[in-house]
Amino acid sequence: MLLKKAADMGSSEITPRGLYLNRRKFLAGTAIAGAALGVPAVSRLFSPSTIAEANAKIDGIQKSAFSTSEKITPFKDVTNYNNYYEFSTDKYEPAGLAKDFKTRPWTVTIDGLVKKKQVLDVDTIIKMATPEERIYRHRCVEGWSIVVPWVGFSLNELIKRAEPLGKAQFVEFTTLYAPNQMPGQRVPVLDWPYVEGLRMDEAMHPLALLGFGMYGEVLPNQDGAPLRIVIPWKYGFKSAKAIVRIRFTDKQPVNTWNKAAPSEYGFYSNVNPHVDHPRWSQARERRLGEFLKRPTLMFNGYDQVASLYSGMDLKKNF
């Protein structure tokens, strides 16, 4: 898992060979040049008309004690610089490519090892609990971070309603597969649809959020609309977007990035400054929109989850 990196190697400048080759095919087919795989240092590839606009306001939002007091990253940065490979491997493109993505009608299947298997309309899920605003910090595996005021409620609210069986040890999340709407899925950069997973106690932790809004508004398409999970103590790719299925299982899910590059992306993927990515250090991060780097915090600063991993070797279980 831990490999020596060259001294002159930029922390987020190198693309895995397989992703590079698939990306080259994609770019050749669309005649789009350039990529933004690290800190935002290139010009936007879309005109200002494609930049995200405000969504409908969400009423009745309560403030949450889980929120950080850190400075919030501007809305325009969070909504126009996105890791969303279903639309594009370029971080500046999803805002434009997801503009007409249809989020209604939308249902979520809840199945597996639960008493109450069901198919729920997304708006039924959203109305299950009072919406909370939680200002969470996030850390991307590529070295950048953001602070976002999400709107949602604890994932455990939905899980308890499904009544998992005693032998359910994990929760698996599956993203929509719709290559007619998601152009990135037309290219085998990853094994679609996108799958992520959590251990049951992780999913039940009150910090794990079922999100449907941000900045007091409905989620923009490029940020995971209409429903996503938000796991603030893990690297960003663990927070699955556009969820259509939640499955309870007794076996550890094979999550997409772990399947694509098992030596680089572990199942747990807790933010850990002491475990480097094989090709760059994770000890420091750069906040989106800022120039200077800052130290990376263990569990991204969310010490409340440390007890979940008591006794575990977090270098082996990375």
Mean pLDDT of 296-314: 98
Q: What is the pTM for the complete model shown? A: 0.84
Q: Which has more confidence, 306 or 37?
A: 306
User: Above pLDDT 90, what percent of the chain?
Assistant: 82
Residue 18: pLDDT band (50, 70, 90) is: very low
Mean pLDDT of 257-268: 96
Predicted local confidence at residue 210, as pLDDT: 98
Q: Mean of the per-residue pLDDT values for the chain?
A: 87
Q: Would you say residue 13 has pLDDT above 50? A: no
Reported as a single tens digit per residue, the pLDDT across 123-139 is: 999 999 999 999 999 99
Centroid of chain to Cα 198: 13
Amino acid identity for residue 290 in this structure: E
Helix (H) or strand (E) holding 182: none
Bond prior to 105 in cis (omega within 30° of 0): yes
Predicted local confidence at residue 191, as pLDDT: 98
Q: Would you say residue 230 has pLDDT above 50? A: yes
Bond prior to 183 in cis (omega within 30° of 0): no
Residues 6+ apart with CB under 8 A from 61: 131, 132, 133, 151, 213, 216
Residues 6+ apart with CB under 8 A from 252: 169, 170, 197, 199, 267
Q: Would you say residue 179 has pLDDT above 80? A: yes
CATH 3.40.50.10420 for domain 17-309, yes or no, is: no
- The tokens for 311 are 């006794």
Instruction: Give CA torsion, residues 26, 27, 28, 29, to 10 deg.
Output: 50
Q: Give me the residue spans of the domains in the chain.
A: 17-309
Mean pLDDT of 93-114: 97
Predicted local confidence at residue 20, as pLDDT: 41
Tokens 């949602």 belong to 152
Work out whether strand 195-199 and strand 170-175 pair parallel, antiparallel, or are unpaired: antiparallel
